[in-house]
Amino acid sequence: MNTTLTVFLKEVKENLRDRRTLMSALLLGPLLGPVIFIMIMNVVLTRELDKADQPIKVPVIGATYAPNLIDALKQQGLLPQPAMADPEAAVRNRDADVVLRIPNGFGDSWRKGQTSQVELIYDSSQRDSGGSVERLKGMLENYSHRQGAMRLVARGLSPAMMAPVAIDERDQSTPQSRAGMMFGMLPYFFVLTVFMGGMYLAIDLTAGERERQSLEPLFANPVPRWKILLGKLAATCAFSLVSLLICVAAFGFCGKLIPIERLGMRMSLGVSFASQVVLMMMPLVMLLACLQTLVSAFAKSYREAQSYQSVLMLVPVFPSILLSVTPMKIADWMYYVPLLGQQVGIMQLLRGEQVTAAQMASCVIVGLVVALLTMVATAWVYRSERLAISA
């Protein structure tokens, strides 16, 4: 125990003196996530809010053929823009999100009581035009319904004839669950922070020491290697844990800066959320520290270890991708899979739902067992004769 503590204290002291490690573990890693998150969220939210409130500007071709239609659209928040020569090109060049074209036969068919046509010119592959198109379509349908109803009334029929089925939507989502949907990437930020927090230590303490040839004298001391390894793992875990704490605290603070209530959503990143996240991530801190060290033990140099780590970094992405590509129902078995368990658990918390004690326990215990197995594997690799010899 004494040996492990000695190694732990020395590694912590040495790495606290390394600016690069400090920057990445305590500043960049934990704060990058929240900062990016806030920036994205603010842009997305303000744009959504703006779009909903503000009138949309749409170039209209042939406005003179349907003055009544244009007036009705203006009342619903449309700002007609002057016509252009080539609306197709304008849409393709993103000069306009959508263009409304009214053919000159509009008035004729209208007066005959036939279906009059209007054209919407847009490009559905331009992601941010979707909102404008939907809104304009809604306005037009709205107008069409109203006029249709009036035609029926004028002929002495009930407008209900035209709507044999009425849809009444009852959305069961809560303000929190809607927010949870938007913040699906949050769990990955936590995992990434843990990964980044320990990465430089894991590389430095094994591959780095090997490259600087200090493992050889170190292993000449009368202490078993696994005790030395344990001290190194503890130091790695300590850094990634601190990193995680900073990250969770930062998210808690930043949650207040996002104007999410204005979208009718709620997000609770408070103390209870934070402590449950930390508890759930604890086994992952150990598991990733062991994995990173294990991978480092196969590398002869710092640089080699770094390239291995970047491959390893892809592993935590899989559950995130899996969940976003195939939106599965959250099932109990998921809590038994490290990484996936953390992902769904944090999602559950974000949606404002409870993670049961059994789910939490299986998530933590399975994680710890896997971490322990990886630790044993790492200790086994550490015994290798080659590890100490760099030249």
Partner 1 sequence: MIEVKDLHKHFGAVKAVDGVSFAARDGEITGLLGPNGAGKTTTLRMLYTLMQPDSGQVLVDGIDVAKDALAVRRQLGVLPDARGLYKRLTARENIDYFARLQGMDAALIRTRREQLIKALDMADIADRRVEGFSQGQRVKTAIARALVHDPRNVILDEPTNGLDVMATRSMRQFMRHLKEEGRCVLFSSHIMQEVAALCDRIVVIAHGRVVADETPDALRAQTGEANLEDAFVKIIGSEEGLAA
**282's tokens:** 């604890």
State the first-to-last Cα distance of the chain, in angstroms, to the nearest integer: 31
Question: Least distance to partner 1 from the beta carbon of 1, Å?
Answer: 12
243: amino acid identity, one letter: S
- Tell me the DSSP string of 270-299: SHHHHHHHHHHHHHHHHHHHHHHHHHHHT-
Residues written for the chain: 391
- In angstroms, the CA 200 to CA 187 distance is 22
* Residue (171 or 385) nearer to partner 1, CB: 385
Instruction: Let me know: does 283 contact 371? Beta carbons within 8 Å.
Output: yes
Question: What is the DSSP code (8-state) at residue 169?
Answer: -
The alpha carbon dihedral of 349, 355, 361, 366 has a sign of negative
56-61: strand order across its sheet = 78-81, 56-61, 98-101, 119-122
Question: Least distance to partner 1 from the beta carbon of 236, Å?
Answer: 16
Query: Per DSSP, which regions of 115-177 are E strands?
Result: 119-122
* Residue (9 or 35) nearer to partner 1, CB: 9
* Residue (97 or 209) nearer to partner 1, CB: 209
Positions that interact with partner 1 (CB under 8 A):
2-3, 6-7, 10, 13-15, 17-18, 209, 212-224, 385, 388-391
Question: Least distance to partner 1 from the beta carbon of 302, Å?
Answer: 14
* Residue (15 or 342) nearer to partner 1, CB: 15
Instruction: Let me know: does 114 contact 120? Beta carbons within 8 Å.
Output: no
Question: Least distance to partner 1 from the beta carbon of 295, Å?
Answer: 22
* Residue (13 or 146) nearer to partner 1, CB: 13
How many helices (H) and strands (E) would you count in the chain? 17, 4
- In angstroms, the CA 99 to CA 83 distance is 9
Question: Least distance to partner 1 from the beta carbon of 221, Å?
Answer: 4
CA dihedral 259, 265, 270, 273 (to 10 degrees): -140
* Residue (6 or 129) nearer to partner 1, CB: 6
Question: Least distance to partner 1 from the beta carbon of 249, Å?
Answer: 28
Question: Least distance to partner 1 from the beta carbon of 301, Å?
Answer: 14
* Residue (17 or 170) nearer to partner 1, CB: 17
* Residue (1 or 311) nearer to partner 1, CB: 1
- In angstroms, the CA 7 to CA 2 distance is 9
**251's tokens:** 């998210």
Question: Least distance to partner 1 from the beta carbon of 15, Å?
Answer: 8
